[in-house]
Structure 1
């Protein structure tokens, strides 16, 4: 279709990018962005653009990507635990200041002929347009107005976003134990000589530190200065004695947004307005800009708006839901992170990379052989024998208390714990952990499919960490890679291989 007039609600990355692509695809169309904030007003710090996202942006709009890459800052990733560091190389990952990102997108939108309006709040209902793109964020007023079947799930853990006035050498994942509990930072450098510094903790630690009270006392326009000053001391090593910078910084719980429908009438949702995925998979800007590409493609090819919206949703929803599932697993992993601090840093890095089931162990071993090699030695592999990584892991002997096992498939007769659940840290998971406590060990069984196996491995890790009993997980031979990743990551002690049921 060739709309005459398109209105975009929200001047974030997704809205600006959609506006530019629309104008490039249909120069005769009037495209206007309505942003309630000022042109120079933004919240947050740096944004990460991974290699896959850059490839998609290159195909859709190489001019914009070229400037983003030139503006951004490339960095590797490190895990820092107890004075030891594990490093992972990243070929094309860049960090860019959110202000720089928006400035680039604003310039390129205006260059294409998009009209930008700032400082006035608009609603979809009041706009005279053939198509209204609602890119108005996680708190979308458009979604809240109804008709989209929106739902929000709130996470258990707490986090806050802040920044530093200097660039870290690399992205840093670092837990620190305090008198109240464990705080962990995800921090990374970005353009402009600064770094994003995100901190997570669990509710018990948050309350012990008194941050429930400081959160309640922090106004909506303010930053929680008490928390910032405390965290400066907690992460003094990573901060090199420098301060933390706030920008409406307060403790939050992550909100996962899902919608039954992404369009209603002439209005279509884009980015966080339609869906969110936990920040630990670096997804917000990625999803919004990739949504923009798919939406503009659908509008270009479809005969009318309704058909275009249906095609857009059909193309994007499977990708979004897949990423949301990966993000859900990653979120659960981070919310239970303190239980893993007994692992050496290299094994912890392997656990981190395999936490959502998205990074195959053999691929990670090819890109980071030093990390995986150290993790194998810590796990107990002595090096000689087969070159097949999975065989080596599964074939490694185990000593557990007074018992010895020649390899990780030598599962003794153990009580079975059948698990068919969505969340290992739910009340149902609590009950299964309680049943395992005080036994000589458990064999955790369940459905054959891969998602169920990944959940069993998470439950097994919880059983291992909280009870100390010997833990085995049943899985089909076709999922040996996932079972091996679970073994080296400390999620289970043994694995029981079965044939896949008919």
Structure 2
């Protein structure tokens, strides 16, 4: 089968890997408009369920991804830098640049051709392909050209946010909310590489404008944010440039398509659907899309039937995730309404942003605020990681 994949992000590259593993006879070309190594943002997060799936699907790339990843344990929610509350759990994060390099290297090893710095203008260029996988992100130019055929709806969140890095290493997944004369500003931070953390700053639109962040240059923006977050940053600077490009303020792009297929093309990952970054599921969902589509092509000799099954099953599976993502985004757009309470009550309100919580969950949450309970949960998490790593046949890494 001749397959062209537009976009060398995690979804596109992992689809190429997954399809080649199932049928080495596929002729697969990945086309990317940017040069090798170019990417935006810093780290992405994932959890054990994805790691289990990656090891089952392709042990080699999973092993390399885990080696590039950093462990974070516990979640901390802070108000004014001093009043804190805690949520349990742990996860992993990996910087986008090494993640893409791992996937590109693995795809190349399997015989996939990757063409960088190549712009796709029209799907008609690939009329001779059996399948064109459109995986060029939330702002997909290809999808925009055929938006009527896909039934595309694009909305944008209200809050401005900027994706930065910092030399302050956060061992926990940290949310910190700081007051300013213009209103509240907050960040989401987590370790993403040796000596570096991802640092996403967000606020409401009125606060953003009142602080002048809509007018400041990127150097002045960093200085202002370093002043606002001086206490949690502990004197460490913020980093704007990732792979040479300065970070810019954005509003989250919500993408929905009535169908993911048109003629010989199919949408995948953020080109097909997006979930708010506060869920940390975008990369996971793109890579799961890649596996499912590759498996459908393997299971069904007729490409049209395989794509139809992928489209219908994918829409059904995503429903709950997209509902949760919309609820999460809406909560953060109203977060300053909850800041008149202490960190414990604020944290519990944030934890319940995805839906109704039962009374016993509140009691469990209160217990987690106890240091001894948190230590016990961290030990339990370590045991769980050891067990799952052993089950996967993965070398044990405590970090």
Question: Do the two structures share a fold, i.e. TM-score over 0.5?
Answer: yes
Q: Could you list the runs of 5+ residues in structure 1 that have no partner in the other structure?
A: 219-223, 375-502
Shift of residue 363, structure 1, vs aligned partner: 6.0
Q: Any runs of at least 4 consecutive aligned residues in structure 1 with deviations exceeding 6 A, and if so which?
A: 358-361
Q: Does 1:45 align with 2:42?
A: yes
Equivalent residues in 2 for 1:44-443, closer than 5 Å? 44-76=41-73, 77-82=75-80, 83-91=82-90, 93-122=91-120, 123-127=122-126, 128-146=128-146, 147-214=149-216, 224-247=218-241, 248-357=246-355, 362=360, 369-371=367-369
Check conservation: 1:10, 1:137, Cα contact below 8 A.
yes
1:35 corresponds in structure 2 to 32
After superposition, what is the alpha-carbon deviation per residue over 1:331-377, rounded to whole angstroms, capped at 9, x for unaligned?
01111111111222122222222111287664686588323999xxx
Q: Secondary structure at the match of 1:277?
A: coil
User: What is the rounded CA distance, in whole Å, between the counterparts of 1:39 and 1:265 in structure 2?
Assistant: 30
Shift of residue 238, structure 1, vs aligned partner: 1.5
Check conservation: 1:152, 1:256, Cα contact below 8 A.
yes
Q: Secondary structure at the match of 2:215?
A: helix
Q: 1:114 to 1:200 in 2, by over 3 A?
A: same
User: What is the rounded CA distance, in whole Å, between the counterparts of 1:314 and 1:358 in structure 2?
Assistant: 28
Q: Could you list the runs of 5+ residues in structure 2 that have no partner in the other structure?
A: 373-399
Check conservation: 2:165, 2:198, Cα contact below 8 A.
yes
After superposition, what is the alpha-carbon deviation per residue over 1:365-390, rounded to whole angstroms, capped at 9, x for unaligned?
6588323999xxxxxxxxxxxxxxxx
Aligned length: 362
User: What is the rounded CA distance, in whole Å, between the counterparts of 1:262 and 1:365 in structure 2?
Assistant: 43
Check conservation: 1:9, 1:124, Cα contact below 8 A.
no
Q: 1:373 to 1:334 in 2, by over 3 A?
A: farther
User: What is the rounded CA distance, in whole Å, between the counterparts of 1:170 and 1:22 in structure 2?
Assistant: 36
TM-score for both structures, normalised by structure 1: 0.69
More relative contact order, 1 or 2 (CA 8 Å, 6+ apart):
2
TM-score for both structures, normalised by structure 2: 0.86
User: What is the rounded CA distance, in whole Å, between the counterparts of 1:27 and 1:263 in structure 2?
Assistant: 24
Check conservation: 2:4, 2:131, Cα contact below 8 A.
yes
Q: Secondary structure at the match of 2:251?
A: coil
User: What is the rounded CA distance, in whole Å, between the counterparts of 2:362 and 2:9 in structure 1?
Assistant: 34
Shift of residue 12, structure 1, vs aligned partner: 0.4
Shift of residue 209, structure 1, vs aligned partner: 0.9
Q: 1:367 to 1:192 in 2, by over 3 A?
A: same
Shift of residue 175, structure 1, vs aligned partner: 0.4
User: What is the rounded CA distance, in whole Å, between the counterparts of 1:168 and 1:78 in structure 2?
Assistant: 10
User: What is the rounded CA distance, in whole Å, between the counterparts of 1:312 and 1:352 in structure 2?
Assistant: 34
Q: 1:157 to 1:26 in 2, by over 3 A?
A: same
User: What is the rounded CA distance, in whole Å, between the counterparts of 2:102 and 2:290 in structure 1?
Assistant: 16
After superposition, what is the alpha-carbon deviation per residue over 1:284-326, rounded to whole angstroms, capped at 9, x for unaligned?
1111111111111111112322111110012211222221110
Check conservation: 2:69, 2:93, Cα contact below 8 A.
yes
After superposition, what is the alpha-carbon deviation per residue over 1:15-74, rounded to whole angstroms, capped at 9, x for unaligned?
000000011111011111111111111111011012232233233223322221222111
After superposition, what is the alpha-carbon deviation per residue over 1:169-194, rounded to whole angstroms, capped at 9, x for unaligned?
22210100011111010111112321
Shift of residue 148, structure 1, vs aligned partner: 0.7
